Structure 1
């Protein structure tokens, strides 16, 4: 009888052994998987709560330089960016400028601020367009800046856009205070509405000089063809929104490669709800600009 009992006990252990080992393996796999996922999620956010960047390609590689032309460089330029949209073509440049550079630009602009104006269509007046753009601003060219900060930023914008800096207008430094906004509009000028143009604005680069506690987003209501049924009233803050972050840049193109205006490039500045918004705008044209 003892012999039979011993055999039964050994058989039972053998039957229980594999399921237990299997369950333990599954348990430790799940612990490892969820643990690594949690760590990855934590690492995706920086100290200020903003998501960390994910790069498509590793920068840990060697670059072999080619002989450069007379106006070329003897070094590689790396400027990280994120494609926000293809309709319109909009790109986001995190940490494009330092906090010190942003503060320097604000300091030089503040004394010269005046109420922002509008380019008027045929038949429009300042009175009839009152309330569309309520910010204050000032134009400053890089050559006027004795600190050299705008010169550095302008050169970096030229490299990011691949359009020579001679095609850029002076910086338009803008401040939006509480409730101030800019209704949706185009940066390019339709000849039928504004008359013949000597040159056209191809692209716009916005450098955010301050954080905004709430509101103040740059918005694209027609992104990917949305809201284009004729009912949009140009005041609604809808569509693709870009929250201002100090030192970050936003580039978008107003024209298609064939030179016609991209209808989805309509954009505006949402009202500031809390805080203050500072931005340096660089409009870039299809022809060189006079100094």
Structure 2
């Protein structure tokens, strides 16, 4: 309009006339609100201000992990191994899909012809005769270096990452097969010096890789989980307590020792009888010293 030179432009909102400075102020406020709102949404902070735990898949998809410079014995990539804590007493962790079905089948294939009746480490006063029936599986020992497929090499490296205990602290794999009715009565993987004599090294942890599904039975059981059943005159042949059902490719890690090096009494465990099907498992016992010092 004529005669309006030098005046601020007017904007009409409803019946209210706003000058240019006011318009700019409102625009700035809207921009700031949008900016901070996008930050809150990206942080997954719901109403109430409590942040949600962001799942691993989201982090991986968004590419938020950056590999760090590493030492001579380190690795150049970041790896993720999903797990679930099954128990703190004993410390037991479950690793879903730790190995593929093809890898499991390869291990069964290369060890099947080598299976022999399983044996026991005998306590003072025990003999093979008076311990019959405690462990009725068949099995064999095989090191990763003896596997031409190199599947066990891959699995051994992955176990080292999962446990944060170097490979050279592990015994050879003990591959076991349990047929219908076969089991392993409750026992400890660590060796009590008062029962087995002085030990040069001790088993810290055990990693079980289930090589097959089991239709019924065959669970790994922890009868003393969280201190239960320890004062009832427990029958070591019963299958009670925390039970872990075998699923092909899944892994189970549990620790036999406390962090001070003494035996965890709740780490007592066994294998329930197979009722239907067949159970295959590869066990890796991990020591507190390297192979050269065992």
Give the TM-score taking structure 1 as reference length: 0.80
Please report how far the alpha carbon of residue 67 of structure 1 lies from its aligned counterpart in structure 2 after TM superposition. Answer: 1.1
TM-score between the two structures when normalised by the length of structure 2: 0.79
For 1:56 and 1:228, the matched residues in 2 are separated by 39
Mapping for residues 95-114 of structure 1, pairs under 5 Å: 95-114=97-116
Q: Classify the secondary structure of the residue corresponding to 1:251.
A: strand
2:186 matches 1:171? no
Residue 289 of structure 2 aligns to a residue whose secondary structure is coil
Q: Distance in 1 between matches of 2:151 and 2:104?
A: 9
Q: Determine if the alignment matches structure 1 residue 57 to structure 2 residue 55.
A: yes
User: Match of 1:35?
Assistant: none
Name the CA shift for 1:179/1:131 in 2 (closer, same or farther; >3 Å): same
Partner residue in 1 for 2:40: none
In structure 1, C-alpha distance between the alignment counterparts of 2:126 and 2:149, rounded to whole Å = 39
| Superimposed CA distance per residue, residues 84-112 of structure 1 (whole angstroms, 9 cap, x where no aligned partner) | 00000000000000000000000111000
Give the direction of change, closer, same or farther, for the CA distance of 1:56–1:190 in structure 2 (3 Å limit): farther
**Whole-Å Cα distance in 2 between the matches of residues 56 and 135 of structure 1?**
43
Aligned length: 237
State the partner residue of 2:188. Answer: 186
Which residue does 2:147 correspond to in 1?
Answer: 145
Partner of 1:257: 259
Q: Which residue of 2 aligns with 1:3?
A: none
Deviation at residue 58 of structure 1 after TM alignment:
3.6
Structure 1 equivalent of residue 240 of structure 2: 238
1:116 equivalent among 105, 115, 118: 118
1:271 to 270, 273, 287: 273
Match of 2:30 in 1: none
Query: In the alignment, which residue of structure 1 is the partner of 2:197?
Result: 195
Report how far residue 202 of structure 1 moved. Answer: 0.1
Q: Residue 233 of structure 1: CA displacement?
A: 1.4
In structure 2, the gaps of 5 or more residues are 1-52
Shift of the 63–100 alpha-carbon distance from structure 1 to 2, 3 Å rule, reads same
Residue in structure 2 matching 1:82, options 81, 84, 90: 84
Shift of 1:175: 0.2
Distance 2:241 2:92 in 1: 13
Equivalent of 1:223 in 222, 225, 232:
225
Q: CA deviation at 1:65?
A: 2.3
Query: Helix, strand or coil for the counterpart of 1:155?
Result: helix
Residue of structure 2 in register with 1:44 after alignment: none
1:284 paired residue number: 286
Which sections of structure 1, spanning at least 5 residues, go unmatched? 1-54
Cα deviations by residue, 1:90-144 (Å, 9 ceiling, x for unpaired):
0000000000000000011100000000000000000000000000000000000
CA–CA separation in structure 2 for the residues paired with 1:103 and 1:234: 32
RMSD after superposition:
1.2
Computing the radius of gyration from Cα coordinates, the structure with the larger value is: 2
Q: Pick which of 259-268 and 223-232 moved more.
A: 223-232
How far has the Cα of 1:263 moved from its partner? Answer: 0.2
d(CA) in 1 for partners of 2:265, 2:141: 27
Q: Secondary structure at the match of 1:90?
A: strand
d(CA) in 1 for partners of 2:237, 2:67: 50
1:40-63 CA-partner distances (Å, limit 9, x unpaired)? xxxxxxxxxxxxxxx863432311
Tell me how far apart the structure 2 counterparts of residues 58 and 158 of structure 1 sit (CA, whole Å): 21
